[in-house]
Amino acid sequence: MKSQYDLELIEKYLDNALSAKEVEEVNQRLAEDDEFRRCVDQSRLMIHGIRRNARMQLRRKLDEIEESLIETDETKEAKIISLTHSRILVSIAAAVTLLIISTLLIINLPETPQNLYVQYYQPYRNIVTANVRGELQELSKYELAFTAYDSGNYELATNLFKELLAKEATATYLFYLANSYLALEKNTQAAKYFEQVIHLNEDFVDQAKWYLALIALNEKNIEEAKSLLKELKTSGYRSEEVTEILTKL
């Protein structure tokens, strides 16, 4: 066991905090005292261990981000695959329909509400932050959330918007959180937050109604969809599309 004096001396030496006199002492000890030299080496390794361990923690943090990003990529791929499958089904269905039409004359098949949803649904574009491509500007969770949203990392975006909401409940955060959920096809959660946007009655009220109407269509809740669309007709938001859907229903 080293004396307290030695340990303090070694630590100051490794932290570059020695006085000129102490430097002289350490140099002499290093040249003559094997035990002292070994203790210095071990202490240095201790510091390296602390650093390497901290670096590993940072790596794990990056891995966590990476995992959430990869998951989102996979969800996207899965969607593309299922979309391709449904496209094939759609074309088969179309061919069959055509056959029926050509043999049984024209039957006007009504559009299903879900089809209307697919036809009209699009995630709301980010109108809040400029597309961050250039130099790193204000570095905040706020921008990070929108960066994730813009790049389609909706899992990460939901987490970040929720964190932001915990600090401040704004219509903007609620609206984009709802949109992130909708993009992940978590309609119940999406609807809950769109309703809160409307309840707050600040920004994005019409937009929230539009998406709630689409969710209602997707869930075959025609009456609710109609009532929301009629409200939108009065306000004039997306008037063309609103009228189109109303006539199709």
Query: Can you give the binding site for another protein, defined by CB under 8 A?
Result: 2, 7-8, 11, 38-39, 42-43, 45-59, 61-63, 65-66, 69, 132, 135-141, 143-144, 147-148, 151, 153, 156
Task: Write down the least CB distance from residue 186 to another protein, Å.
Answer: 22
Would you say 143 or 224 has its CB closer to another protein? Answer: 143
Would you say 54 or 94 has its CB closer to another protein? Answer: 54
Task: Write down the least CB distance from residue 141 to another protein, Å.
Answer: 6
Phi, psi of 106, deg, nearest 5: -85, 120
One-letter amino acid of 51 = R
Place of tokens 């593309």: 80
Dihedral over alpha carbons 108, 110, 116, 118 (to 10 degrees) = -70
Would you say 184 or 246 has its CB closer to another protein? Answer: 184
**DSSP category for residue 112:** P
Report yes or no: 48 and 77 within 8 Å, Cβ to Cβ: no
Would you say 123 or 152 has its CB closer to another protein? Answer: 152
Place of tokens 């879900």: 114
Report yes or no: 195 and 212 within 8 Å, Cβ to Cβ: yes
Report yes or no: 97 and 114 within 8 Å, Cβ to Cβ: no
Residues with Cβ within 8 Å of 213's Cβ and at least 6 positions away in sequence, in order, are 224, 225, 228, 229, 232, 245
Task: Write down the least CB distance from residue 232 to another protein, Å.
Answer: 35
Would you say 10 or 228 has its CB closer to another protein? Answer: 10
- C-alpha 118/C-alpha 53 separation (Å) is 49
Task: Write down the least CB distance from residue 58 to another protein, Å.
Answer: 6
Would you say 68 or 221 has its CB closer to another protein? Answer: 68
Task: Write down the least CB distance from residue 234 to another protein, Å.
Answer: 41
Task: Write down the least CB distance from residue 41 to another protein, Å.
Answer: 9
